Chain A
Amino acid sequence: AQSVTQPDIHITVSEGASLELRCNYSYGATPYLFWYVQSPGQGLQLLLKYFSGDTLVQGIKGFEAEFKRSQSSFNLRKPSVHWSDAAEYFCAVGPNRDDKIIFGKGTRLHILP
């Protein structure tokens, strides 16, 4: 069965520091991978997605993620975080582009001034 693991429940970084949020997936074939962000009291907003092709994908708000098949990972990165990046981040996997999407438990990002 497909699943997504986000090993870090909370991450704290200083403003201006680099960020990497981890995501591992379990799926038999090449999955469709997503990162979403959720601000307090809001719905989930799509940051980026990977379907095929270049394994480094660029998203909104300066985020990028890299698909590594050998490690079954799809880690999210940002070179320099801003206070407004404080939110909860969800990695997700789907068997195809419009089928059901399974989410990880989320990583809550805290930013120190």
Chain B
Amino acid sequence: DAGVIQSPRHEVTEMGQEVTLRCKPISGHNSLFWYRQTMMRGLELLIYFNNNVPIDDSGMPEDRFSAKMPNASFSTLKIQPSEPRDSAVYFCASSSPGAAFFGQGTRLTVV
């Protein structure tokens, strides 16, 4: 298996634009997580899905953020409109009973 695949690896966008981050989890994994990592706040859980259903989205910072998982092999995290304070590395992880496996992350810069 290729592991968790995220795209794009880097994204630079202007404030106010819509940004969509994509994730392909490891096949067979039941849970999918979106994390955000910044120097100031560390690694924050934004939302997680179990069997494609959102279980806990309490970490989503505000309504500008939304996440979907239309099927077991794909998830998106969307920011609309984006703001400079959204600049961070966004990680997707998937897990089966045992542990979470992380993608390489998407480095988002909002200018």
Interface residues of A (CB under 8 A from B): 34, 36, 42-46, 49, 90, 97-106
Contacts and interface: CB of A to CB of B under 8 A. Distances in A.
A102 B50 contact: no
A21 to B, nearest CB: 15
B91 A44 contact: yes
Given A43-B102, A43-B105, A98 B42 contact: no
Contact of A97 (B45, B93, B98): B98
Given A43-B4, A97-B98, A100-B48, 14 more contacts: A42-B105, A43-B93, A49-B98, A97-B95, A97-B97, A97-B99, A98-B96, A98-B97, A98-B98, A100-B55, A100-B56, A101-B45, A103-B43, A106-B43
19 contacts: A36-B102, A42-B104, A43-B102, A43-B104, A44-B91, A44-B93, A46-B100, A97-B95, A97-B97, A97-B98, A97-B99, A98-B30, A100-B55, A100-B56, A101-B95, A101-B100, A103-B45, A105-B42, A106-B42
Nearest to B50: A98
Contacts of B97: 97-98
Contacts of B56: 100
B98 A100 contact: no
B99 A103 contact: no
Contacts of A98: 30-31, 50, 95-98
Closest 7 CB pairs of A and B: A43-B102, A97-B97, A103-B43, A105-B42, A44-B102, A98-B97, A46-B99
Contacts of A43: 4, 91, 93, 102-105
B65 interface: no
Contacts of B43: 44, 90, 103, 105-106
A34 B102 contact: no
A90 B104 CA distance: 16
B11 to A, nearest CB: 15
A91 to B, nearest CB: 11
Contact of A49 (B55, B99, B104, B105): B99
A46 B101 contact: yes
